[in-house]
Amino acid sequence: MVGGGAGYIGSILVPELLRLGHKVTVVDLLWFGNHLPSDTKIIQKDLFHLEKSDLTNIDIFIFLAGLSNDPMAEFSPAKNFIYNAALPAYLAFIAKQAGVKRYIYASSCSVYGYTDNSLYDETAPTISSYPYGISKLQGEKGVFQLQDKDFSVIALRQGTVGGYSPRMRFDLIVNTMFKTAIKDGKITINNPAIWRPLCDVRDTAAAYVKAIQLDSQTSDVFNIALSNFTVGEIGEAIKKKIEELTKKSVLIDVKNVQDYRNYKVSTDKAATKLGFKASFSIADTIEELFRHIDQYQDFEKDEFYNIRTFKKIEGGGERQYI
């Protein structure tokens, strides 16, 4: 079962799980529509409304839901904590009671907060001080509390994901820079010195597949990324690739905006213990985005931007919490 499986990562991961022969049920509110293959089993509902009886016969639960970026978390800090911290723990609680064997949690490198530029492994301090990062860490703690020899918990602390997904997002750093380079011939770099680990969405999906395959006794947390890049390096790599693809020049506009996230992570543990090694470079990610360019039209659909869609849902009073 994949909670939040109709989102950006799920729309790459779920088809891959089906291709590998897994039986998959997606439970999702479909905030951003449904872009999954037509034969995917989808239950449209709030994960909070699942009960233990909904999870009998499930071997593995993958949590990809919640508020998935800082602007959403800042728009609704209370709901952020409900969906990112309480919800994963509640689901782990009923999953364990129902006999689910493994719970895989979509965590984030945001848990590290603003670091001192040294390389952070999974034992490093987690000092984030803003709603999204704190809530992702609380979600992790909540699910790990339940792990034992019969209930394996794996948390994947993902770097910022990028690339093409049938459920597209243009509010993620690589995708945003791709968009403005194509649309405006310009890339804005808010702060060139800030560090970000990145991961192509295809590699991210591959990390979940590895997590499924780990031996059943393992419970652990893994940083998931290709590598660490400064925002300046990301902009330069994207500019180079877009200029090569379009034969048009791209301007880099450097600002000096303070950021509250800055982290470099070690991926050694994922390589040795999870057997995960990312294979797609930034240039590969851009190439894949470019290959699908006809699907984006003017890039401005509200569903491409989580905060725009979320504000509409919240403002319209269309949903209730819990």
Residues in touch with ligand NAD (CB under 6 A):
4, 6-10, 27-32, 46-48, 64-66, 68, 83, 87, 106, 108, 158, 160-161, 167, 169, 172, 306
Cβ at position 48, least distance to ligand NAD in Å: 6
Cβ at position 30, least distance to ligand NAD in Å: 6
Cβ at position 13, least distance to ligand NAD in Å: 9
Helix or strand run (H / E) with residue 181: helix 173-184
Query: Residue of minimal CB distance from ligand NAD?
Result: 7
3 state SS of 322: coil
Q: Looking up tokens 């300046």, which residue turns up?
A: 232
User: Judged by CB, which is closer to ligand NAD: 15, or 185?
Assistant: 15
User: Judged by CB, which is closer to ligand NAD: 102, or 136?
Assistant: 136
User: Judged by CB, which is closer to ligand NAD: 31, or 151?
Assistant: 31
Radius of gyration of the chain (CA): 19
Dist. CA 82–CA 90, nearest whole Å: 10
Cβ at position 149, least distance to ligand NAD in Å: 26
E strands, the chain, where?
A: 2-3, 25-27, 41-43, 60-63, 102-108, 114-120, 152-158, 160-162, 186-189, 195-200, 220-224, 227-230, 251-254, 262-265
Dist. CA 174–CA 161, nearest whole Å: 8
User: Judged by CB, which is closer to ligand NAD: 68, or 228?
Assistant: 68
Dist. CA 157–CA 111, nearest whole Å: 8
Cβ at position 108, least distance to ligand NAD in Å: 4
User: Judged by CB, which is closer to ligand NAD: 133, or 217?
Assistant: 133
Residue 293: CA count within 13 A, CB half-sphere: 13
Dist. CA 278–CA 199, nearest whole Å: 7
User: Judged by CB, which is closer to ligand NAD: 106, or 250?
Assistant: 106
Cβ at position 116, least distance to ligand NAD in Å: 21
Cβ at position 94, least distance to ligand NAD in Å: 14
User: Judged by CB, which is closer to ligand NAD: 148, or 235?
Assistant: 235
In terms of Cα–Cα distance, which of 200, 282, 291 is closest to 245? 291
Question: In the structure, how many helices (H) and strands (E) does the chain have?
Answer: 11, 14
Cβ at position 69, least distance to ligand NAD in Å: 7
Residue 128: count of CB within 10 angstroms of its CB: 22
Dist. CA 32–CA 28, nearest whole Å: 10
Residue 315: count of CB within 10 angstroms of its CB: 9
User: Judged by CB, which is closer to ligand NAD: 100, or 143?
Assistant: 143
Torsion (CA) 182, 225, 152, 122 in degrees, nearest 10: -140
User: Judged by CB, which is closer to ligand NAD: 216, or 279?
Assistant: 279
Cβ at position 251, least distance to ligand NAD in Å: 26
Dist. CA 94–CA 27, nearest whole Å: 15
Residue 136: count of CB within 10 angstroms of its CB: 29
